[in-house]
Chain A
């Protein structure tokens, strides 16, 4: 019975997702595309935060690497877009290993601030290396993605591309988290010395997860570049890194599927608040502070608790 209800609910969700672009305005579809991108990039940060207990404030760096790789490879070199995706993910993985191996010896606050510094460094380099990135002017004219001659040139079409990718990476991440490495990650998050005694190679595992996070960031960045077709340093600032981190925080960091809720929050709430005029950024900041203080398990955890409370009331 329960299983039937769940499958039914899932079916309804899929149906709603599939039909949404027919009913929604173009602006809303555009926002949903961004929510999909942020799901992919935010998932990486969420795996680090929720499973490994690592605060990563450098995701904008890898988001940028993906975006610039795609832009450079397609615009300057005229190569097919798939090359850009691969180049970005490869570059991100290599940089994540080179940087992560030493930096992941740090823990807690120190690691978090080191990643924040990385994000700032990345932003300066994106700005300075204008032969590659176009500096403040950015790179324009990035071609729309096209696969087997089908061009993803409208928000609706990109919507049908981005979300299946997002669901795919979420599925893979969900498997990982339930598997043997997932157990080891949570073990080192909860009690590092005990995990080490039990034979978990923590430094290797952390670095591997940092690489996965970077590759997801890069994937999202490449998709972003092809979608908006113009990129500049403004898209890869520390604020973007903070926004990526907030996705799992808002969702409740240990939840894999909750990342979707976090990404929707980070995309739609500022949009809703912008109705209040210029003060909306302050309200957004406050909303986040309140989530951190009042809902330590994020929105998903809060919803769970509310459901339990209601159940007890009803009974």
Chain B
């Protein structure tokens, strides 16, 4: 696909291999209240793994632990075999991890194109002094960032909205901007937090397509959602209930699992 070619034309990018993620013995609590106890699962290279569960089941906590917004009380998070425990959010980004947010956190007072350009920030070099003086290299770099971002925008159907102020866009399109912004940074592991919330059926269908595309372009994906329909895209799904994984398998099997049915319907 064209997007891959453009992305790889950035010289600073290392060869792009999807990452693996492994959680072992993760436990967490808030003020004595257990939210996660001994959670173990893996996201194999190049796969889409889903995490489902009712509200308060610990999905978000799990997600925040992987992305570095929380540190777990116990357990290890391994990115391609390397323990990330001590890594800051930024360090995780440098290692190829990227996340989205449940309510899309777009840069509201910036244009769509600028939003996506920020996705390339980590690949840039030019600092404050070079930018002030508009050195040739800073200018070249900015042009390159702009072109790459523009390509990504077009790919996600945002070509006509490049200069639109992102804060004025409807919820669905903000979601797309956030996705394009994550995509352009070419992460090796992408964490999607409730990507379908606030979207209509048509938009969810489109989202499925994009998730598949991101996956085919070399991103391992961890998908957190309570949208059972969207989850059928995942290779494997883990069901969380009160901080424990109660079932694992393909979505069809999960849906049939009596314990999951009880958790969702009986609880």
Binding site for B on A (CB under 8 A): 172-173, 175-176, 178-184, 186-187, 189-191, 193-201, 208, 212, 254
Contacts of A199 in B (CB 8 A): 90, 93-94, 121-122, 185
B121 in contact with A193 (CB, 8 Å): no
Taking residues whose C-beta sits less than 8 angstroms from the other chain, chain B's interface range is: 35 or more
Please report the C-alpha to C-alpha distance between residue A175 and residue B142 in the assembled complex, in whole angstroms. 12
Contacts of B37 in A (CB 8 A): none
> Is residue B18 within 8 Å, beta carbon to beta carbon, of the partner chain?
no
Chain A: CB-nearest residue to B166? A190
Contacts of B121 in A (CB 8 A): 180, 183-184, 187, 198-200
Chain A residues touching B, majority SS = helix
A179 in contact with B131 (CB, 8 Å): yes
Please report the C-alpha to C-alpha distance between residue A208 and residue B131 in the assembled complex, in whole angstroms. 13
Chain A: CB-nearest residue to B167? A190
Encoded as 1 (CB less than 8 Å from any A CB) or 0, chain B from 102 to 114 comes to 0001111110001
Query: Nearest chain B CB to A33's CB is how many angstroms away?
Result: 25
B128 in contact with A186 (CB, 8 Å): no
Contacts of A198 in B (CB 8 A): 93, 98, 118-119, 121-122, 181, 185
Which of B132-140, B209-217, B223-231, B257-265 makes up part of the contact surface?
B132-140
Query: Nearest chain A CB to B43's CB is how many angstroms away?
Result: 18
Q: Beyond the given A197-B93, A197-B98, please list 12 additional residue pairs across the A-B interface where CB-CB is below 8 A.
A: A176-B128, A180-B124, A180-B131, A180-B141, A181-B127, A183-B118, A187-B118, A190-B106, A191-B107, A194-B105, A198-B98, A198-B119
Query: What is the number of contacts between chain A and chain B, taking CB atoms within 8 Å?
Result: 97
Please report the C-alpha to C-alpha distance between residue A199 and residue B93 in the assembled complex, in whole angstroms. 6
A187 in contact with B107 (CB, 8 Å): yes
B122 in contact with A194 (CB, 8 Å): no
> Is residue B67 within 8 Å, beta carbon to beta carbon, of the partner chain?
yes
Binding site for A on B (CB under 8 A): 67, 69, 89-90, 93-94, 98-99, 101, 105-110, 114-115, 117-119, 121-122, 124, 126-128, 130-134, 138, 141-142, 145, 178, 181, 185
Given known A-B contacts A175-B134, A176-B131, A181-B131, A197 and B118 have beta carbons under 8 A apart: no
Contacts of A208 in B (CB 8 A): 128
A193 in contact with B101 (CB, 8 Å): yes
Contacts of B89 in A (CB 8 A): 196-197
A175 in contact with B185 (CB, 8 Å): no
Query: Nearest chain A CB to B65's CB is how many angstroms away?
Result: 14
Please report the C-alpha to C-alpha distance between residue A178 and residue B126 in the assembled complex, in whole angstroms. 12
Interface centre among A178, A190, A199, A200, by most chain B C-beta atoms within 10 angstroms, is A199
Contacts of B138 in A (CB 8 A): 179-180
Given known A-B contacts A183-B118, A184-B118, A190-B109, A201 and B128 have beta carbons under 8 A apart: no
B126 in contact with A180 (CB, 8 Å): yes
Chain B: CB-nearest residue to A50? B109
A186 in contact with B107 (CB, 8 Å): yes
Contacts of B133 in A (CB 8 A): 172, 175
A172 in contact with B107 (CB, 8 Å): no
